[in-house]
Amino acid sequence: MIRILEKEVADKIAAGEVVDRPLSIVKELVENSIDAGASAITVEIKKGGKTYIRVTDDGSGIEADQVETAFLRHATSKISQARDLESIETLGFRGEALASISAVSRTEIITKPAAAAAGVRLVIEGSHPAEKEMTGCPDGTTIVVRDLFYNTPARQKFMKSDATESSLVIEFVSQIALAYANLKIRLISNGNLLFTTPGRGDRHKNILTVFSREISDDLIPVRAEKDYLSLEGYISGPGQSRATRKHQIFFINGRVVNSKILQKGISQAYSDKLFEGRFPVAFLFLRADPAVLDVNIHPNKREVRFNDEAFVTEFVHHALRQALLSRESIPEVKEKD
């Protein structure tokens, strides 16, 4: 007997592709806030996001009569026809995130466009709208996701400890705070404010705010340009090296990437200054002509490939070398793990 699955079952299955842990929910919600033109975004989680995730923004908001539609599958305001797929400028466009999230949690949205006199509050439990009312609220959108996977116990089991789930969320929000230095990003976990970035586009300030407890403030600025490449960022002197690459974060054209090329450029620049297995702190923002790189290596877009990898490695190596030389005369004493 072949049958079409009920909508609720189909929704749960589809949700598994978009939402697999708190991190993926935070990512979808934050990307929606960025797409909505927010200038300030607050992320709050409890228990690693398993019981509570809240994302609040001051973006465009959603009209009261559209708010249920936003939770339907393939409902999006970001594209309307097939040819729009060729020129996507938003982070989202599939119209699946809110449908998926609300299928596997108790979701609440409070939203108000600036032009509306009042906002609206809607609660959706496992895809079913449960409550709707008009309410006074600030301009923008707040989405609260409670009890993730309460109705799909098999998925619940796949989540790791609160500590692991929260560290993934913290890592992601930190990267967003660095990549979007013009946004005010606030992160709260179990009631503790972890950081608030000033949102004035000052990368150095943001790095220090986000990693205040982990890195010292004597970072060395990097700035270089050559042909189709430009590099900006901050590195530490060899004295502030680590046993892992945790404090090496790379952005290529605004996206966080894992880049062997940049790692190689770094190790070449420090080759006579650091022992094997020691890694300097490095926050590098590389811009490259999109024509020379391929971002579609992996669906998560974390991998990129350059046409001329040797050229890029050399460029990074020299840029960092130059930056280190400029600091050579200052003695380095700090060691930290």
Contacts to Mg ion by CB under 5 A: 32, 92, 97
> Which residues in the 93-112 window bind ligand ADP by CB under 6 A?
93-99
Residue whose Cβ sits closest to ligand ADP:
92
Min dist CB 18 to ligand ADP, Å, is 9
Dist. CA 320–CA 269, nearest whole Å: 6
Interface characters, 64-83, with ligand ADP (x: CB under 6 A): ------x----xxxx-----
**Residue with smaller CB distance to ligand ADP, 95 or 119:** 95
Min dist CB 74 to Mg ion, Å, is 12
Chain CA centroid to CA 146, Å? 20
**Residue with smaller CB distance to ligand ADP, 25 or 220:** 25
Centre a 10 Å sphere on the Cβ of residue 128 and count the other Cβ atoms it contains: 10
Query: Judged by CB under 6 A, does residue 44 bind ligand ADP?
Result: no
List the single partner that 316 binds among Mg ion, ligand ADP, none, CB under 5 to 8 Å by kind.
none
Per CB under 6 A, the list member of 102, 141, 174, 236 interacting with ligand ADP is 141
Min dist CB 97 to Mg ion, Å, is 4
Dist. CA 148–CA 85, nearest whole Å: 31
List the single partner that 187 binds among Mg ion, ligand ADP, none, CB under 5 to 8 Å by kind.
none
**Residue with smaller CB distance to ligand ADP, 114 or 134:** 114
> Which residues in the 259-278 window bind ligand ADP by CB under 6 A?
none
List the single partner that 197 binds among ligand ADP, Mg ion, none, CB under 5 to 8 Å by kind.
none
| Radius of gyration over every alpha carbon of the chain, rounded to an integer in angstroms | 22
Residue whose Cβ sits closest to Mg ion:
92
Min dist CB 179 to Mg ion, Å, is 17
Per CB under 6 A, the list member of 22, 48, 49, 61 interacting with ligand ADP is 61
**Residue with smaller CB distance to ligand ADP, 77 or 268:** 77
> Which residues in the 24-43 window bind ligand ADP by CB under 6 A?
28, 32-33, 36
Query: Judged by CB under 6 A, does residue 127 bind ligand ADP?
Result: no
Min dist CB 65 to ligand ADP, Å, is 13
Chain residues in the site for ligand ADP (CB under 6 A): 28, 32-33, 36, 57, 59-62, 70, 75-78, 92-99, 141
